[in-house]
Amino acid sequence: MPKEIETKFKIKDVAAFKIKLQELGAKFVEQRFEADVYYSPAVQGLFNGTVRVRSLDKGGEFTIKYNSGGSDKTFKVRQELQVKVDDTKILADMIRTLGYTERFRKEKKRMLYSYEDAVIAIDILPYIGSYVEIEAEQTKIKKLSEKLGLDIKKAIPDTYMDLFSLYKVLHNVNDMDLVFPKNER
């Protein structure tokens, strides 16, 4: 079963980081807008993981992730199953028919790069800022973060939902999704 190993770093200057990637020789893959919807089963404990439908400019992705151990203060390690889909609206209807309910919405602007066996994403999210996410084997992430001037001791294994939950506590807001205002999409 495919395993996802990743970590992220908060960045302040997206343009400066893009220059670092170019100097490193990372290959630009694409820029895209991602709109994710996360679902929960009707019966708690039925599935203890993430069920996500991601809408892209064309089509989307259906993803299931669940913990497989190995996560620590630096890396998030999960099992991941993902498939491309043509119609995310029909998929969402199917998921709801199976008894799942919408739990959370998240949007981000993502710039994808590749470098050797690593996938590097620059993510811009509403409210919580900009991050670099690196997905590869742990030793490769450590070496790559060093090449990019990122301190592995400041790596963030938390999900964007975890970071947004902290934001909501700090700003005393409750009923809010991690989505851009309509004029910023």
**pLDDT one-digit tens code per residue, 109-151:** 999 999 999 999 999 999 999 999 999 999 999 999 999 999 9
- Give the residues across from 5 on adjacent strands: 77
Q: 3-172: which CATH number, 2.40.320.10, 3.40.720.10, 2.20.25.650, 3.30.365.10?
A: 2.40.320.10
pLDDT of residue 115: 97
At residue 1 the predicted structure's pLDDT band, cuts being 50, 70 and 90, is low
pLDDT of residue 45: 67
> Are the beta carbons of 103 and 119 closer than 8 angstroms?
no
**pLDDT, mean over the chain:** 92
Q: Which helix (H) or strand (E) holds 102?
A: strand 101-115
| CA–CA gap between residue 145 and residue 151 (Å, rounded) | 7
3-state SS, residue 52: strand
Q: What is the pTM of this model?
A: 0.91
pLDDT of residue 38: 95
As a whole number, mean pLDDT of residues 75-89 equals 92
pLDDT of residue 12: 96
As a whole number, mean pLDDT of residues 58-80 equals 85
Write out pLDDT tens, residues 13-60.
Answer: 999 999 999 999 999 999 999 999 999 887 776 677 889 999 998 899
> Are the beta carbons of 9 and 152 closer than 8 angstroms?
no
